[in-house]
Chain A
Amino acid sequence: MAAIVRLSSMCRRGVKPLFYQSPLLSRPVAALQRDHEQQHLPTARIHSSQALHGSDAKAASRHWTAERVLSVVLLAMGPVAYFSPGPVVDYSLAAALTLHGHWGLGQVLTDYVHGETKVKIASAGLFVLSTVTFAGLCYFNYNDVGICKAVALLWSK
């Protein structure tokens, strides 16, 4: 099966920055193989994404992009909350803050928790925490002064 080969940089050059802007880097591709020569020459082993099919392969990449988009949205909400506080901003802030925190803590989990059962338990715990947080913030927005007013009142003392 012939296709374009892509080799690891340890073969040639040194460090490349992680998010080097190149269209060639979007995903690994299959190898150019000359089977009769493989036994004699050093072979670099690469990860092929063929184990993932269709939407799975793009899911992680899309999640990454969504995280950055949400970060920018949350950044923009700061001035908006300051200059035009109100219920719309309160509920949007509740959603954006909770989701940003949920995804952020999810990355912390991925980095430090290993082992299938531990990951499952921790993820479930995180999900409960985020749900309760969102519920609590919405409850506060509905039954009390709301997030923007709360910050203003807290700071006025």
Chain B
Amino acid sequence: MVTNSNNGNVAEVPLAFVSNPYLDDLTAGLRARPIPWEGYQRATLITQTELNYIKAVDKKTGEDLSRVVDQEGQVYAELFISLLQKLVRVDTIQSILILIDDLLMDHEERATYFLTLANQDPALPYVPLLKCLRNEDEFVPLKASKILTTLLCASPKPNTDVAQDLFRWTTAQLQSNNHAVVDLGVQVLESALRQRDLRPIYWNTSHAMDVLVRILKTDIPTPQMQYQVIYCFWILTFDKEIAEGLNRKYDVIPTLVEIAKSAIKEKVIRVIVSTLRNLVEKAPEANLAAMAAVKLLSFTENLSARKWSDNDLLEDVNYLKVELEENFQTLTTFEVYEAELMSGRLTWSPPHLSDLFWTKNWREFKKDNYALLRVLARLLSTASDTVVLSVAASDIGQYVKRDSGGKKFLQDIGVKQRIMELMSHPDQEVRYNSVNASWSLIGGGARV
């Protein structure tokens, strides 16, 4: 809950921190438009009492509004929600939403007026607002989502079904072509995910994580958007289960490190480092290997040498450095190799070149019905990066040299075929490595 201890003009962080110019412009436009409330009263869409109440707050903001509302906040909450339930005309719904948002602006404690409506009717206050999410008008869902977020954030035990509906809606919005809409969706998430109970809900909502990850990986986000999306990842990773699964399912660590390396704005780096810190703190076994695979340790050393205006950032960087250093020794090379393999980003890191590594670890590739070999095979077929192809080919060769029984299997899944094809690949290194691998596959002796 937000306590309003505003001495002077220091702003308190709002629960639903949505600052979206697109929405603001739409709101401003609609606000200026006159609504014939009297007309509606004459058409008995609303009662006289309701009309009077509306007129008392219409077009008022700030101090004026407070004077009216502080007397009868509960009545207004009930009024607005019931109007949302019964009115159908788009312009009235738009106006009611604006009135509600104005009511809550800077005074999020008034959310309790709405939340207590649940005591009379468990469907309130959320059901009418959820209906708005599916409204065809452009403004209505956007505004309703902001209000829903405020209510969910103000609630000590947020309603998880409502949250799920909201997340389904945001998942759709995040796929929109309209950047402003995507931006609003992400901001809604930034606020909603502050509620700890909602984080697992989001994690389990289908495609919810996908769309977020996609923004970072495929779209070309602005730094502000990067910050916002990564901020969402950060608060999600406070949840242990999410911290364990995030990289495994969505391979975010390499992406985050890449972004951090080229980021100009300090806050982007700041939020990335915080996220990485959470991953290490909450789920080290799941994440340290992947971090070692992308050489995060040397990057943190680089980061710690730079000048930052934010001390917290430096603290987090140093924490990462220490943890990585400590665990570096205990991380077996095989774990690093496996992390690298699973991420698909094969490079000429030490395990690939070390004969000792292969002699020690080739049996791991047989486990789970050749699980790792299959991954290598998939990379061989699908990767386009020449380094990846070269390394994969070399790895196959290394394996086969120690387990000639595996040759039949490799032939069955088409690896042998593929390596033969690669022998005529345009890139020289690919050719070189696939020739060597073929040699081993065919059953040749010493390596060329």
User: Do A and B belong to a common assembly?
Assistant: no
Residues of A within 8 A of B (CB): none
